[in-house]
Every structure is written in C-alpha cells, then in structure tokens.
Chain A
Amino acid sequence: MKRAPVFHGETDLPVLLPAARRLARRAERERLAGGPLPRLKARHGLWLLAILLLSAGVAQAQADAQVKESVITAIFKWMPVLLQGFIFNIAISFLAMVIGTAVGAVLGLMQISLLPPVRFGSWFVTQFFRNAPWLVLLFFCMFLLPFEFDLGFATIPFPDWVKATIGLALPVMANVSEIVRGAVQSLPSGQWEAAESLAFSRRQTLWEIILPQCVKRMLPPWMNLYAILTMATVLASIVGVSEMMTQTGRALAAENRPELLIPFYSFVLICFFAYCYPIAVWTRRLERRYQVKL
C-alpha cells in the first residue's frame, strides 16, 4: 500500500491534529506566496482608516455643518501639533531602546557569569525591573530624578521626556537581559563542549562561538520588544510629557467639541499603526530567515 507523503506540520498519528492542520494550511499558503505571511496585515491599517473616516462622518453629521469647520479640517489643523508629539514618541522609544539594549546586554551576560555574586546580583536586578509595572517605574523616574544636573561648571538640563526615556529604558533593559540569557541558554550544550574540546577559553567561546549564534535568535524578540515599547510610550502622557497622546488631549480640550474625540484618537491609532506595522512585517521576515535549524 502506498502511503500518502507526510508534509511538514502534518502527521498520521492522532496527536494535536487541529493545530497541525492549521499550521499545514498556513505553510501551504506561505509556500504559494513564496514568503512568510505577516499576521498583522496592511488591511488592518485600512480598517483603521475606515474607522477614522466613518467616525469623522458620524461626527460631521452630529456637528452643525454650517457653523463649524469639518472634522477633517480640524484634524488637518491640529496635525502639526499632533505629529510633533509623535516625533517625541519615536524619539523616546528609540533612545529608550538604545539605552536599554546597551545596559541590558551587559546585564544579560552578567546573568551567565560564573561568579555567584555577579550572577545573583544581575538576576535580582533583572527580575526586579522585569516584574515592575512600567508605569510605576515611569513615575519613579519622573519624580525622583532632578530636572537638571549641576556639575559645578555647567548645568545639564534634564527635560521630562529624557526622564521618561530613562523610565522606559529600565524595563527594556531587564527584558533585553532576559533575551540575552535565554538566547545563550537555548544553544545546545554541545556547542560549549565542542569549544572546550578545541581548547577555547571561556571568553573566546562566548565571543566567537556562542554570541554570534545568539544574535540571530535575539533579533526577532528584540524587535517585538521595540514595537511594544513604541506603543508603551503613550504612558508618558500620564506623567505630563508632551507626546502625541498628551497633545491629542490638549487639542481636544481646546476644541471643546466632544464629537472630535473618536476621529482624533483614530488618527493617533493610524500613526502608530503606520510606524509599527513595517516593524512587524520585518520581524516576521527575520524570524523566518533565522528559524532554528539544529
């Protein structure tokens, strides 16, 4: 009897069939498409746009069309203010990611140190910041850091958004630390043993064998973290940083027209979608390329 070929994600054993079928269907589609299919699709952005236009339309209907300017005009009028706020969001996310990655990488390597105090210390810091609510860390940074540093000869100003950046860099740091530790530990111990048998020192093993293999494993979760961080930057609005969410609230307060609420917040959604969507696509692509093959 000729057996049907068993494809990836499919099995002739009665285990986890529903998921296997779904995965197989997906793999089939991706084979046809010749590449990975992103789960977040561009049409989601179109939906958001549709929501914006729809809400604008509804708001328009509610408003007295003759007396008041149209909702689209209002958004257009406030766009420079809102986009200026959005630049803040991006700047905060970017800087927080740079700082968090730099410190977090060191912390992650400390977590695999052979010295117990270093290992436990970094483990404690990592766990502390990883399990603390982001907003609480943000509040601490806002109210405990000074607004300027007096160095005697010069005064370095320390504006709110820089404090928010530091506040958001702390949880990023802890998460990067865990990403690094996890990536190193996910490599099979054979890599270490082989390196040892070839008389590599620990440092050589780490730098020349382990970490190069880790980079590609860390990239997708690292980019996911960035997308999450970007969306978390709106938390800074609660502590009074003039980012997009804050500016939207202020614009709404100045306009004093309740019907503008949904269109304005939809506009914020679209801005964030337009920024995060390409990152999501790129992450999927990298995940696909660096799929673990051992």
Chain B
Amino acid sequence: MARWMKSLAAAAGIAALASSVAVSGASADAISDIKGRGKLIVGVKADYAPYGFLDSSGKIVGIEPELAQDVADVLDADLELVPVVSSNRMQFLEQGKIDLMIATMTDRNDRREVVQIVDPNYYSSGTNILTKGNFAKWEDLKGAPVCGIQGAFYNRKTSEEFGAEIVAFKGTAEALTALKQNRCVAFVYDDSFIVSRLGDPDWEGWKMPLPTIDDAPWGLAVKKGEDAFAMLMSGMIVKWHVSGRILELESKYGLEQTPFAKKMHQAFLDFNPSIER
C-alpha cells in the first residue's frame, strides 16, 4: 500500500514537472503582424562593439541597430531592439519574441535548419589573433595559452587543429584584460574586431600576424516559414550592398572596410546597374 502510494506520488511529481508549457505566439505572417502592431522587433547584440553596443544612456547603437532601423523605415514601423546573446538568439526567433535577428550570427548549415537565414549574406568575418608574439602560422600556437570568448565556434578549431590551449572568457573586456596581464599569448577573435583594436593607441605594438582563416559569412534570420518576410529582407540586403550602406556604416563606426563588403558592393553594382542610374 505505502509502496505504491510512494511511487504514485513520485510519478505525480515528475508529471507535474514535465508538463512544461509549450505555447508560442501565434503568427500568420510576420509582415502583417508588424504592420498590425506598428512595431518591428529586432534582436541585436548589445555587447559586441561596434556591431551592437550600449551607449551611456542605455540605448543600443551600432552597425546592426542602424540596419534594423533601415528595415523599420521600409516597413513604416517603429523599431524595438531586443538585446540577445548567442545562446538565446535562435530561441527568441523561434518563439516569435523577435521578428528579425541581426546578431553577428555566422551562417552555418545546422543553424539554417532551425531558423530561416536570408540570402545573400550581409557581412562576413574571419578568424585571426591579436598578439605581441612572433607567430607566422597557426600551427605555431601549439601548446600556447590563447584567450577566447565563450561560445565562439572557432575556439574548438583553434584548440583541436592547432593545439592551442583556449582560455575562454565571458566578454571581450575580460579577454583583453587577461591578454594584457599576460595570462595568454594571443586573443583569437573576429578579424574585423582585431583590426579596429589595432587602430587604437592603447594597442600599439600589437599585431595580427596570421593569415585570416574561416572567412565565414554572417546571416540575418527570420522565423522558419516566413517566406514573404525573408524575400523582403533579401531585397533589403541587396539594397544595402548596391548602395554601399555596409561600407558606409563600417567607416562611420571606425572599422576598416572589409573585403567582403567591398566585394559584395562590386558584385551587386554589376548585377543591378539600374539602381545607380
């Protein structure tokens, strides 16, 4: 008697725990939803200067928020920015919490299965290191402690293929502090970020000596199945490339113009010359 009651109670407890709610906001079509509420909700990074960062009034600014503003202008809607991090950005999109995600996400096939990444890619960056040491090739990092950011996909490659020992940090500020304190010999990160650091007088004498690897495109994404919205975003990205908007924003935020943005600008000029007329 007592025994089956005990197991029954345990089962009931487990059932209560397992019955987690799985409700999601119903949405028929993202564009009509956005027009209906008069507000476009975009997920952007808030800790990734200069792509998305806070200004001292607490507002999110940067390259990606400006791109989001362009989309809102086209849709004639207000813009709401939701700060996301790598671990929750795709979930937010799936749940319908954000309409659009422009959050420095590398375009990868496994991610394409979860969210709808819009073609063409709007940006691209590769992996490189910031260091004071003499490294000529990636293999030279073997056995050396290298700082990285938690959750970055190239950490694994750097450690497994090149044999470096990754010391992962929460944010760039922590990692750069560790680098300056000699807790690691190099910092492995996006090359565009490293280039922007090299221009800073604080980092005089530091360099980016290795060939950039893994030049991977970034994809902005909409919820899976939002084909109409994805088409609209494709058009937006083409427009950005044609007009040189990305290059302009790179210059505005103190980045070197990346080869990818230049290449896309050229490619789309040829592709659609009528815009320039």
Which residues from chain A sit less than 8 Å from chain B, CB to CB?
64, 67, 77-78, 80-81, 84, 116-117, 120-121, 124-125, 128, 140, 142-150, 155, 239-240, 242, 246-247, 249-261
Contacts and interface: CB of A to CB of B under 8 A. Distances in A.
B13 A124 contact: yes
B13 A125 contact: yes
Interface in B60-116: 83-85, 87-88, 91-92, 95-97
11 contacts: A78-B56, A116-B9, A117-B8, A121-B10, A121-B12, A125-B17, A149-B23, A150-B23, A250-B53, A253-B171, A254-B49
A147 B95 contact: yes
B47 A249 contact: yes
Contacts of B276: none
A250 to B, nearest CB: 5
Interface in B39-56: 46-49, 53-56
Contact of A120 (B5, B58, B97): B5
Contacts of B91: 143
Contacts of B47: 246, 249-250, 253
Nearest to B179: A258
Contact of B177 (A67, A145, A261): A261
Nearest to A253: B47
Interface string B101-133: 000000000000000000000000000000000
Contact of A254 (B10, B21, B53, B92): B53
Interface string B172-188: 11101101100000000
B22 interface: yes
Interface of B: 2, 5-6, 8-10, 12-13, 16-17, 20-26, 46-49, 53-58, 83-85, 87-88, 91-92, 95-97, 170-174, 176-177, 179-180, 197, 200-202
A80 to B, nearest CB: 7
B173 A252 contact: yes
A121 B6 CA distance: 8
Contacts, number: 120
A76 B71 CA distance: 34
Nearest to B12: A121
A260 B173 contact: yes
Closest 8 CB pairs of A and B: A252-B173, A120-B9, A121-B9, A254-B53, A258-B177, A253-B47, A144-B20, A147-B97
B2 A116 contact: yes
Nearest to B176: A258
B13 A121 contact: yes
Given A121-B13, A261-B173, A251 B54 contact: yes
Given A81-B54, A128-B13, 8 more contacts: A64-B202, A80-B57, A124-B9, A146-B24, A249-B47, A253-B48, A256-B176, A258-B179
Contacts of A78: 56
Contact of A240 (B5, B53, B84, B96): B84
A252 B177 CA distance: 11
Nearest to A142: B88
Contact of B173 (A84, A120, A246, A249): A249
Contacts of B57: 80-81
Contacts of B53: 250, 253-254
A117 B2 CA distance: 9
A181 to B, nearest CB: 16
Contacts of B6: 116, 120
Given A121-B9, A146-B95, A147-B96, A252 B22 contact: no
B173 A256 contact: yes
Contacts of A258: 173, 176-177, 179-180
B30 to A, nearest CB: 15
B171 A249 contact: yes
Contacts of A249: 47, 170-171, 173
A162 B26 CA distance: 21
B81 to A, nearest CB: 12
A144 B22 contact: yes
A144 to B, nearest CB: 4
Contact of A146 (B23, B56, B171): B23
A89 to B, nearest CB: 15
A21 B192 CA distance: 64
Given A242-B83, A258-B177, A64 B201 contact: yes
Nearest to A76: B56
